[in-house]
Structure 1
Amino acid sequence: MIAPVTIESLDQEGRGVAHSEGKVIFIEGALPGEVVTYNSYRKKQSFEMAQAGQILKQAFGRVTPRCSYFAICGGCSLQHMDARAQVATKQRVLEDNLKHIGKVEAELILPAIYGAAWGYRHRARLSVRYVAKKGGVLVGFHEKRSSFVVDMRACEIVPSRISRLIMPLRELVGSLSVRQQIPQIEVSLGENVDVLVLRILKPLTDQDEMLLQAFADQHHIQFFLQPGGPQTAFPFYPQNAAELNYTLPEFDIVMPFHPTEFTQVNPAMNRVLVRRALNLLDPQPGERIADLFCGLGNFALPIARRGAQVVGFEGSAAVVCRANENAQRNRLARNTQFVETNLFEIDEAWMQAQGYFDKMLIDPPREGAIAAVTSLGKEKTAPGRIVYVSCNPATLARDAAVLVNSNGYVLKAAGVVNMFPQTAHVESIALFEKDAVGTL
Structure 2
Amino acid sequence: MAQFFKAKPKTSVMNQQKIQVTANTLDHLGAGVAQFNGKVLFVPGLLPGETADVKLTEDKKQYARAQLLKLQQVSADRCDPVCAYYGSCGGCDLQHLQIAEQRQYKQQVLRELFSKFSSINELPPIEVLSDAPLAYRRKARLATWYDKANKRFFLGFRAKESTKVVAITECPVLLPALSALIKPLAAALAQLQSVANLGHVELIAADSGVLVVLRITKVLSDKDRQRLLTLAENLDCQLVLQSAEDEYEYLRGAQPFYQFTQQNSSLTLHFNPGNFIQVNGGVNRLMLAKALEWLAPKADEHILDLFCGMGNFSLPLATSGARVTGVEGVQQLVQQARSNAAAAGMDNCEFFCADLNGELSGQPWLQQVDKLLLDPSRAGAWELLSQLPLLAPRSLVYVSCNPANLARDSAKLVAQGYQLSKLALLDMFPQTHHIEAIALFTHK
**Global fold match (TM > 0.5):** yes
Q: Could you say which residue in structure 1 is the equivalent of 2:43? A: 27
Alignment-mate amino acid for residue 278 of structure 2: Q
Alpha-carbon contact 2:87-2:93 (below 8 Å) kept: no
- Encode CA deviations 1:187-225: one digit per residue, 9 max, x unaligned: 121012111111101111111011101101110011111
Q: Compute the TM-score of the two structures, normalised by the length of structure 1.
A: 0.92
Pair 1:45–1:134, CA change in 2 (3 A)? farther
2:360 counterpart of 1:360: no
1:287-436 to 2 correspondences below 5 Å: 287-332=301-346, 334-346=347-359, 354-377=366-389, 382-404=392-414, 406-435=415-444
Q: Distance in 1 between matches of 2:33 and 2:327?
A: 39
Q: Could you say which residue in structure 1 is the equivalent of 2:249? A: 234
Aligned residues: 426
SS for the counterpart of 1:216 is helix
Q: Could you say which residue in structure 2 is the equivalent of 1:59? A: 75
Q: Distance in 2 between matches of 1:8 and 1:413?
A: 30
Pair 1:229–1:25, CA change in 2 (3 A)? farther
How many Å apart are 1:69 and its aligned residue? 0.4
SS for the counterpart of 1:108 is coil
2:28 counterpart of 1:12: yes
Q: Could you say which residue in structure 2 is the equivalent of 1:184? A: 200
How many Å apart are 1:421 and its aligned residue? 0.9
Which of 205, 209, 222 aligns to 1:193? It is: 209
Q: Could you say which residue in structure 2 is the equivalent of 1:263? A: 277
- Encode CA deviations 1:244-271: one digit per residue, 9 max, x unaligned: 1111011521010001210000111111
1:170-181 to 2 correspondences below 5 Å: 170-181=186-197
Q: Distance in 2 between matches of 1:94 and 1:20?
A: 27
Q: Distance in 2 between matches of 1:42 and 1:260?
A: 39
1:99-114 to 2 correspondences below 5 Å: 99-105=115-121, 107-114=123-130
2:153 counterpart of 1:143: no
Pair 1:107–1:309, CA change in 2 (3 A)? same
Larger relative contact order (C-alpha < 8 A, sep ≥ 6)?
1
Alpha-carbon contact 1:418-1:427 (below 8 Å) kept: yes
Gaps of 5+ in 1: 436-440
- Encode CA deviations 1:109-162: one digit per residue, 9 max, x unaligned: 242111111111111110011125776211110012210110222111112232
Gaps of 5+ in 2: 1-16
Pair 1:22–1:133, CA change in 2 (3 A)? farther
Alpha-carbon contact 1:106-1:411 (below 8 Å) kept: no
Q: Compute the TM-score of the two structures, normalised by the length of structure 2.
A: 0.91
Alpha-carbon contact 2:177-2:210 (below 8 Å) kept: no
Q: Distance in 2 between matches of 1:25 and 1:135?
A: 41
SS for the counterpart of 1:198 is strand
Alignment-mate amino acid for residue 413 of structure 2: L
How many Å apart are 1:276 and its aligned residue? 0.5
Point out the structure with the larger strand share. Answer: 2
Q: Could you say which residue in structure 1 is the equivalent of 2:97? A: 81
Pair 1:388–1:229, CA change in 2 (3 A)? farther
> Percent same amino acid at aligned positions?
35
Alpha-carbon contact 1:346-1:372 (below 8 Å) kept: no
Pair 1:351–1:433, CA change in 2 (3 A)? farther
- Encode CA deviations 1:10-65: one digit per residue, 9 max, x unaligned: 33322223333343222211123323332232332222233222223322221000
Q: Distance in 1 between matches of 2:374 and 2:24?
A: 33
Q: Could you say which residue in structure 2 is the equivalent of 1:438? A: none
Q: Distance in 1 between matches of 2:43 and 2:363?
A: 44
Alignment-mate amino acid for residue 407 of structure 1: Q
How many Å apart are 1:361 and its aligned residue? 0.5
